[in-house]
Structure 1
Amino acid sequence: MRWKITGLYIGSLLILSLLLLSIFVFTIWFSVITGVNVPETERSRFPEQFTLEFEKFIMDDNGMPMVKKEGEEKLKKNNAWLQILNKDGTEIANWGKPDEVNGHYTPSELIFNYKYSNNGNTIFVSRKNADNKEWSYIIGFPENRVSKYTVLFSPESLRYRDLITPLVIILLTTIIIGYLFGKKLSRPVLDIINGITKLAKGHYHINYQTKGLYKNVYYSLNTLANTLYYNQRERRRLENMQEEWIANLSHDLKTPLSSIKGYGEMLLDKKNISNSKEVVEYANIIMSKSLYIESLIEDLKLTYQLKNNMLPLNKKNINLVELLRTTIIAILNTPLYTEREIHFDVKTENIPFYGDEKYLTRAFNNLIFNALTHNYNTTEIWVSVNQTFYNTKITIKDNGKGIPAEDLDKLFERYYRGTNTNRNNAGTGLGMAIAKQIITSHEGTISVESWLNKGTCISIIFTNKINL
């Protein structure tokens, strides 16, 4: 993979170099070689062609040269000057000639000045024939505008290898530089590709140093690996919990069904029934187990609806104090808990709240029952509710056994524990999860703190909606 990336880089660099070289050669060829082939209307922009064609603006006026008005304008436009010489090389007329320019030339001086710039001027020479008279004329341009450079070479000594050698040197230099840079640039790209390949195979233990040109990519790759690793662990944990919950649920359904089946068979066998009292006893047991299964199914349905926001809530204005008081009284009126102590502490008798009375009662009922069921009979429970300008807080506290620290995070998870039908008044094992989902559906939060052999405190907070 490294060589493939480096090769692609070198290939791209070679193509780019050849393209630039081709553009350069074409530009030189077009500007210099084809300069003589420009349209007639554009030739005046070439100084040498301009000089050759300027003779049409020179005319004979009684034996003396004169320049047409149009010619003077072209000289002015091109910032050029004109000098006309006789056969002896002496000046007989000029237009715009600088003071430092000579007025007489010998043949050698004329050739020298034509080949090399002199006094900051570049000159071009041509001639004019008029009425059997021959004049030489010089047109000069400022050296900073027009310059001439002579290139000397021998066509006989020019060989193909003289052209190929520089090209080979350029190509080799390009390859070497391309290899070095390609190798340096391909290393992080290869690391990124390898990292993505590892992630695709489920190997999330990668950690790249976030430095260099690709530091943001490395950072994103590390973040993605950590996220995928966390999601993988969470998925496996939930799968294990779900498998455990299904196993416990199967057991909890199988236990009452076994009782129903057994007592049903006994009722069918008249030999096992001595009197009507036993019939009633067996029927009550069958009814009790049936009600438990029905309750379990209803709880499963409810937690599914709450999880997927499919449960329509009948929200209205209610009094939280009255709702909690009614819930506590109903629990204490249950025969199993008539001797238990639940303290209710409020500072005001009316705390308005907008919610579903039925499901809020269900949530508080589950939380208080959980504190009663999983503690000693001597355990006391304190329920309090307070409202401030910003929120409403409900606290359910007990002085019971407490919850181990490793179990606190799992307290409200549906898949954490199964039910236990061998206990009196055993629930479905979904009560705490349902309570949290109901609180959350009312835009509230629930948290728990616990200390072993000291007790547990559950806090519920609803943010008050303030109309501005």
Structure 2
Amino acid sequence: MKMKRRLTLRFVLHSAIAGLVVLLIAAITVMWVLLRLSEINLTDNFVSVGLERLVESSEFGADGIIFDPKLLEQVKQNKGWLQSLDENGKVEKSYNTPSDVPAQYNPGELAAYWQQQQDFPYDVYLWIQEKHGKMYTLLYGVPEVLKPLLQAVSEEPSSYAEGKLLLSAKTESRIQALGGYVQLLNPEGNEVAAFNRPDSAPAKYTVQELALRSKYEGRYGYRMAFDYNEDTGQTWVVSLPNDVAKPSAKAPLISAEMRIVLTGIAGMLGATLLIFALLSFLNARRFGAPMFHMLAWLDMLGQGSYDEPVDRKGRPRSRLKSGKWKRRYSIFADVMLSLDQLTEILRHDEDRRQRTETLREEWITGITHDLKTPLSSIKGYAHLLAEDTYDWSSEEVRKFSAIMLEKSAHMDTLISDLAITYRLRSGIHVPQTEAVEMRAWLGNALEQAAANPEYGEGRIIYQSPDTEITARIYRPWMERVVGNLTANALLHNSSDTQLTVTLSAMDTGRLVIIFRDNGQGMDEQTAANLFERYYRGGDTASTTNGSGLGMAISKGLVEAMGGQITVSSAPGKGTEIRLIWDGLLATISG
């Protein structure tokens, strides 16, 4: 899988996971908000919500009906009591029931208590529901405090001074104990007098204000009761704090329901931001660390350090002990492999450059020696000829001149070889070729090479096929190649070394010339550097008939003519050099 596809898949996967987590957080938030709203609704409207839940959550056990303990605890917090009645009005199950509550009700009695047609110290609420074939009748009661207190206040003689109601000590004590307050309003809704009124309670009521405060008790923290006097137009208002919602100094700007919704939204946004921050941190570690590692690697390559950055233990940061990629680096495997290959190439090129510099220095030393040697001879003989104290004979002058010409020719050969190596390096083009019968031509070229007195006699063996082989070649270049390879085999080995030259052709159009000697051979390093421009396998001063460039020139000429040259050698086993051309062959005839 390519890196682009791997990165795309990884980012899509991360985004999908983040989206699922966000959806899960949203679902949890919605469930939490609904649960909290349900709890508030249960607290504020226990009569309409809680009694229904009591029936729905009830179960039948060995001891009869069993209610949800949490809902029963809510009954207790409301200072209420609970009774379960059968069809005859008999109490089957009760919870937190005071002693003054009957254990048996007849139909008329229960209806009178429920409709408040008969005095009863409790507000009674009735819930009837069928479940699993059984008719549930729940009776829920809470102490009746507000109406008796309102009745006591309204029946007392209304007297007040400086806006303060003057009530009986018993009534005032009762109101203060309950944490409530009393107001007397005129027909316009303005406060005439009050007792124990907090600053949060208004001194003037509109129709809407009074209706809202009596309807939404939980929002304002007080329960209210009113007594309107038709004769005077005045209204008595008695307010007591809710049992579960404690009064505050001011009416809340945000309702409890809205606070829960806002809290849920804030929690969801905070969790989402945390998830994305965590995801960003993980992505930074997973994707950032490999990128910084690769940048550091490239920086080291730019500084000439051809190794991958390592950790404190000296191991490459991107790999495990086993050599495999670490997980965070595996996604960039293509780039890492490319960097690894680039490092190896640069290291190899640096090593080659250093070897080339060394070989160049050695070659310059050798070529300088090779140039100075004949130049010294020429200079010495020139001084002799220019000396006035000697009268040289014609024969001596010709001898000196011949030596000077020989040394000049050797210097010219060295300079020509150096020039042609640079021409080959810059991409020399093959001159006009001609069709040549190779069997006869190669035989003549070897005879000319064997004529060199330094080689000795009978050291070249020529093997050719019986058929005529015609190929298109450039004769001067081929003669130079044959001469260089012959000289390399016969001059750098012992005098009894023989050179066998084999010519062969194939039906595929391949032409092959093999130079094989039985000399001392070469080691691996010498064979690998045989065709280097600045490499001389032996002492540069071992012979004056060479520039150290012959093999490099031969390789360049062969390759310029579209062929290839290879060497195979080992110490003590001689050397074999093959010249191979594909497509150079013109015809083969018997």
- 1:264 partnered with 2:382: yes
CA distance in 2, matches of 1:345, 1:320: 12
**Could you tell me which residue of structure 2 aligns to residue 451 of structure 1?**
570
Q: Which consecutive unaligned segments of at least 5 residues does structure 1 have?
A: 1-8, 21-152
The more displaced of 302-311 and 229-238 is 302-311
Higher relative contact order (CA 8 A, sep 6+): 1
**Could you tell me which residue of structure 2 aligns to residue 413 of structure 1?**
532
**Could you tell me which residue of structure 2 aligns to residue 308 of structure 1?**
426
**In 1, are the aligned partners of 2:378 and 2:404 still within 8 Å (CA)?**
yes
How far the C-alpha of 1:273 sits from its partner, in A, is 4.8
Partner of 2:569, secondary structure, is strand
**Could you tell me which residue of structure 2 aligns to residue 175 of structure 1?**
277
**Could you tell me which residue of structure 2 aligns to residue 250 of structure 1?**
368
| Post-superposition CA distance 1:183-228 (Å, at most 9, x none) | 3332222222222222222221125444532222222221121111
Cα 1:311–1:217 change in 2 (3 A) is closer
**Could you tell me which residue of structure 1 aligns to residue 558 of structure 2?**
439
Name the amino acid aligned to 2:331: L
How far the C-alpha of 1:325 sits from its partner, in A, is 0.7
How far the C-alpha of 1:421 sits from its partner, in A, is 7.8
- 1:190 partnered with 2:288: no
1:205 aligned residue (291, 303, 307): 307
* Correspondence list, 1:8-407, <5 A: 156-157=254-255, 158=258, 162=263, 167-206=269-308, 208-209=318-319, 210=325, 212-337=330-455, 339-390=457-508, 391-407=510-526
CA distance in 2, matches of 1:319, 1:230: 43
**In 1, are the aligned partners of 2:472 and 2:585 still within 8 Å (CA)?**
no
How far the C-alpha of 1:376 sits from its partner, in A, is 2.1
Partner of 1:385, secondary structure, is strand
With the length of structure 1 as denominator, give the TM-score of the two structures: 0.62
Q: Which consecutive unaligned segments of at least 5 residues does structure 2 have?
A: 1-10, 23-218, 220-251, 309-315, 320-324
CA distance in 2, matches of 1:249, 1:466: 38
CA distance in 1, matches of 2:565, 2:548: 18
**In 1, are the aligned partners of 2:455 and 2:491 still within 8 Å (CA)?**
no
CA distance in 1, matches of 2:463, 2:344: 46
CA distance in 2, matches of 1:407, 1:423: 17
CA distance in 1, matches of 2:354, 2:345: 14
CA distance in 2, matches of 1:212, 1:203: 24
**Could you tell me which residue of structure 2 aligns to residue 90 of structure 1?**
none
With the length of structure 2 as denominator, give the TM-score of the two structures: 0.50
- Measured on the aligned residues, the alpha-carbon RMSD in Å equals 3.3
**In 2, are the aligned partners of 1:420 and 1:426 still within 8 Å (CA)?**
no
**In 2, are the aligned partners of 1:319 and 1:352 still within 8 Å (CA)?**
yes
Partner of 1:351, secondary structure, is strand
**In 2, are the aligned partners of 1:419 and 1:426 still within 8 Å (CA)?**
no
Name the amino acid aligned to 1:219: L
How far the C-alpha of 1:415 sits from its partner, in A, is 0.5
CA distance in 1, matches of 2:284, 2:453: 83
CA distance in 1, matches of 2:364, 2:544: 21
CA distance in 1, matches of 2:544, 2:298: 54
**In 2, are the aligned partners of 1:241 and 1:416 still within 8 Å (CA)?**
yes
How many percent of aligned residue pairs carry the same amino acid? 30
**In 2, are the aligned partners of 1:444 and 1:463 still within 8 Å (CA)?**
yes
Partner of 1:204, secondary structure, is coil
CA distance in 2, matches of 1:215, 1:453: 47
**In 2, are the aligned partners of 1:343 and 1:382 still within 8 Å (CA)?**
yes
